[in-house]
Amino acid sequence: MIVCIAILIFMAVIFSSSQGGSPFSFSPGGGGGTQSTTVREPLPAGAVTETAYYTDELGWIGNETKLVAGMKNFYKKTGVQPHLYITDNIYGVTSPNDAMAEEFATELYDSLFSDEAHLLLIFLEYNNNYHTWYMAGRQAKTVIDLEAANILLDYIDRYYYDSNLTDEEYFSKAFNDAGERIMKVTTSPWIGVLIVFGVLLIALLLLVFWRMRKKQKNLEAEQTEKILGTPLETFGGDAAGLAQKYEEPDNNKP
């Protein structure tokens, strides 16, 4: 029983742990599969002044239709229009720090969009190393919160290493799958595990109670049997005499 309780506590700690991360920058190599734990409502129609979906400074995108298909599905699900910016430098620097990237993203957002309902994703790759940064407008942040942004960045990281995808398919799939996941609360597998352990714990407690109850009843039965099987004379020296007194007639009575 103690072991079961300890396991339950351990599971609860894992289940309640939250995943952290920077709200602006994401370092590659994570791929942790952030869970969607929040119910989100898409932005209302008309919140976005629709613009281009990408800027490609490296000439990667040859099939615009494939790329935009997944990004439009992201827009349809969330109400937030994404924009992908592909580059190999920021202000001429191939390994910019977060402060530099944030300044660049702010300037870029203001130059590309006239509303606060866009999501800008900067994808920088240089010498086979990549970094991503995002910036969401104030209205877009009601949908693309930290958790939602980490979901997108996780998919960007996961599919980056899939050699079966073209560049267009890679980004399209990442946006498409992220949009689906962001707008649907993910059921954690730990819930099922905790339920199973909870049922096992209850069953164990019932078993312990039943065995203790049975032991008590057996003890009471043994005591009753012992009492009933004990001869009368063992209860006291006067018992036999008392019985004889009521059996023999008293000749002294008139």
For strands 129-136 and 118-126, give the pairing.
antiparallel
User: In whole angstroms, what is the distance from residue 176 CA to residue 75 CA?
Assistant: 9
List pLDDT tens digits, range 171-228.
999 999 999 999 998 765 566 666 776 777 787 778 887 788 888 888 887 777 777 7
Same domain, residue pair 46 and 162: yes
Same domain, residue pair 105 and 22: yes
Same domain, residue pair 66 and 156: yes
Residue of higher predicted confidence among 237 and 25: 237
List pLDDT tens digits, range 143-178.
999 999 999 999 999 999 999 999 999 999 999 999
User: In whole angstroms, what is the distance from residue 46 CA to residue 244 CA?
Assistant: 110
Provide the residue type at 47 as one letter.
Answer: A
pLDDT of residue 251: 58
CA-based R_g, the chain, Å: 37
Q: Is the pLDDT of residue 62 over 90?
A: yes
Cα dist. 21→60, 148, 154, 210 in Å? 29, 11, 11, 50
Same domain, residue pair 222 and 129: no
238 within domain boundaries: no
Domain span holding position 219: 189-232
222 within domain boundaries: yes
Please report, rounded to a whole number, the percentage of residues in the chain having pLDDT higher than 90.
57
pLDDT of residue 246: 57
5 within domain boundaries: no
Same domain, residue pair 91 and 212: no
Residue of higher predicted confidence among 54 and 250: 54
DSSP for 192-239 reads: HHHHHHHHHHHHHHHHHHHHHHHHHHHHHHHHHHHHHTS-GGGG-TTH
Question: Stretch 99-113: mean pLDDT, rounded?
Answer: 97
Same domain, residue pair 56 and 75: yes
Q: Is the pLDDT of residue 254 over 80?
A: no
Contact 11, 162 (CB under 8 A): no
